Amino acid sequence: MKKALLIFLLILGIQTSALAGFVEQNVQGTRQMSDVVVFSDEDKFGLKDKNGEVVVEAEFVKLIRLGNTSWVAQKGNKFGIMNSDGDFIVKPKYRNVERILGKYVKLGNDNDFGLYDEFGKVIIPPEYSRIDLLFGGMFLTCKNYKYGVMNSQ
């Protein structure tokens, strides 16, 4: 009887901690990718919810999926990171963009490339002339003709 009660309490504790993590993720990430769809209007792109209501007006040249909650958005000729609610996490001020591993994005102009995650967190600061993906989540960086290796943490 004691073993059955102990197992029941253990299962209940695991479910509660999993639910707490889910609630925290939804608060931080706002809408998920599954909550919105991309639509186009006059060669521009925007987002609608499942009911067909416009969440983000069609004013973007490109919308590229980034992780589960964000989009690489091109406004004019500049790129930034936008969440699924239409709020910019990283302002569109970069001319170059490259999505890496589906959940990271390399943004930069000429000598200020940086690496961001889907929540807009800076993984590698935007001060490198070059950032290239290596094996095992490692990145080759170049700044002032000096090379280094960084990981995603």
Dihedral of CA 25/29/35/38: which sign?
Answer: negative
Rounded to an integer, what distance in angstroms lies between the CA atom of residue 22 and that of residue 88? 23
Question: What's the gap between Cα 89 and its chain centre?
Answer: 9
Residue 30, pLDDT score: 65
- Residue ranges of the chain whose pLDDT lies below 70: 1-31, 33
| Residue 28: exposure state from Cβ atoms within 10 A (0-12, 13-18, ≥19) | exposed
- 3-state SS assignment for residue 77: coil
Q: Which residue has the tokens 């943490």?
A: 153
Residue 81, pLDDT score: 93
Helix, strand, coil content of the chain in percent (nearest 5)? 20, 55, 25
Q: Which residue has the tokens 């009911």?
A: 51
First to last CA, the chain: 46
pTM, two decimals, is 0.72
* Residue 93: closest CA among 111, 81, 105, 83: 81
